[in-house]
Structure 1
């Protein structure tokens, strides 16, 4: 099987350095999660989210790897939601170092999310400006899904598996999301009590005997869509159940991966990658998955409160 470096051949050399640095950080996080404390640190990040010790360890691992790459000008994380100068040149990276940390004490799968942008600017631009995006999944295996080339003639979405000694091997090439897979992940389900369109959507899924696949962590839920080649992750909102997902650190990168794989990603106004990210902490709803399933969710998405 090709290694990560071999699979990335043909990409811009600076971008290869960034993606290899992300892969190094994922190895470090994977090892750290085996022993890292799941206790709260007693502190919150600048966005008001309570931090686990594991969040801090993961954040430090990513920043260290990106700084060492020499190809990252600016970084920003959900744990440190501001621009951090890293002294490199070519790209910037926004990331959620540990998505789903609230389910870590239960021993459930969690992930990391990365968006790669050209230049030094992260905010004030749409998600479509990204040149690559990736996510890691820490479960029975450690996986890395990398997407690049969206906007060109041949976008690429690949899955890599972590092996012995920290080596990455290409496990799946040409990942594709299609239609006809009847699974659903109804995030922010409390919004269905007020968002009538979302409530109706949930009832339709149940009446039509869709299979529920929802863990409470964004990366594993999207990866199920990626693995099955279809289905939907739907996260509408309401007045009493406002958005929680951060556009810069979660929505834009995972929308990029989904669309690069041939799926669709929408928010309350249209394609999720079209939305300009006004500030580091901006939030919003998102729907990710097969094109037909995402289209069926549009009334619930348009009824969302942001």
Structure 2
């Protein structure tokens, strides 16, 4: 990080800064690769979860693992493309990440992203999202940016946006906070077919003249909420449309960022940050965003 506002943080958290810098380098390299041309073709393989892999999935995964290993401050890392706890031979932190969130919409030239959660010490299983020391997501859109929740001077968390310009990162927004906005991103809408609570909630949002903002990518939908200062993302489940989003690689890091900005998260019963990561493949229904909107929507997840 190059901005002068980051210098005090650097002095206090040198090892964590090395991890964050490795993530920023990875995002920059991935951004360059995405803009080189068609990288959306399948490589003819699947990951251990059975997801079909695109060239960019594999490339982004390789870029991030390489930089995390090189920084020397990561003991353990795991990704959606390599869902196992891998020893990176460093000391300090463990990192879980989704190297390319929204890869299915790359072909439509939509914005896509990446998600990172950072825990202190080795190992990821048995942790909770609340134990993260930092989390970040990257957005690859008309510009490349990273939203980062990290320890602040007061001991809490601050949420900043960093933007990449001319090969350098700088803080473009400091201290992001969420209020209440009538903006709605209804994911897994197929669940409304046999989840009446969700169907009724969607109808109520339409009747209340909510603005619909849904891209089909978790990161760009959450980023819209962060950029506009409020709103709601909800991804429930039903018998025919089960939960797809993974707690470790996607939900826990984004929940930390949203809650650090004054928002809320829920699985219908508790904060996403309270859920134990008892499996690398644990999945959950989720609602994220402004506090009042999450409170209004969490009943949709109780099926």
TM-score by length of 2: 0.96
Q: Is the 8 A contact 1:5 1:20 kept in 2?
A: no
Aligned to 2:49: 47
- Which piece of structure 1 moves more, 121-130 or 182-191? 121-130
Please give the residue correspondences for 1:167-182 in structure 2 after superposition, counting only pairs within 5 Å.
167-179=168-180, 181-182=181-182
Alpha-carbon distance, 1:2 to partner: 2.2
Aligned length: 300
Q: CA RMSD in A?
A: 1.4
**Equivalent of 1:89, from 88, 91, 97?**
91
Quickly say closer, same or farther: Cα 1:256–1:183, change in 2 above 3 A: same
Following the alignment from structure 2 to structure 1, what is the Cα–Cα distance between the partners of residues 171 and 151? 18
Within 2, Cα distance between the matches of 1:18 and 1:116? 9
- Does structure 2 retain, via aligned residues, the 8 Å contact 1:4–1:160? no
Deviations 1:40-92 (A, max 9, x none): 11100011000000000000000011011110000000000001111110100
Specify the alignment match of 1:208 in structure 2: 208
Find the partner of 1:66 among 57, 65, 68. 68
1:9 has 2:17 as partner: no
**2:128 maps to which residue?**
126
- Asked if the contact 1:4/1:168 (under 8 Å) is kept, the reply is no
Structure 1 unpaired stretches of 5+: none
Once residues 262 and 123 of structure 1 are traced to their aligned partners in structure 2, the CA distance between those partners, rounded to angstroms, is: 27
What is the distance in 2 between the residues matched to 1:114 and 1:15?
Answer: 13
1:302 to partner: Cα distance: 1.8
1:207-226 paired onto structure 2 within 5 Å: 207-226=207-226
Q: Which deviates more, 9-18 or 288-297?
A: 9-18
Shift of 1:3: 5.5
1:103-122 alignment runs, 5 A limit: 103-122=105-124
- The Cα offsets for residues 143-182 of structure 1, whole Å up to 9 and x where unpaired, read as 00110238x7431000000010x21010000000111x11
Matches within 5 A, 1:146-185: 146-149=148-151, 153-164=155-166, 166-179=167-180, 181-185=181-185
* Contact 1:266/1:287, CA 8 A, preserved across alignment: yes
1:266 aligns with 2:266: yes
Match of 1:199 in 2: 199
Point out 4+ residue stretches in structure 1 off by more than 6 angstroms: none
1:15-34 alignment runs, 5 A limit: 15-34=16-35
* Corresponding residue for residue 145 of structure 2: 143
Deviations 1:197-226 (A, max 9, x none): 111110000001100000000000000000
Q: Distance in 2 between matches of 1:106 and 1:133?
A: 28
TM-score (norm 1): 0.95
Matched-pair contact (CA < 8 Å) for 1:3–1:167: no
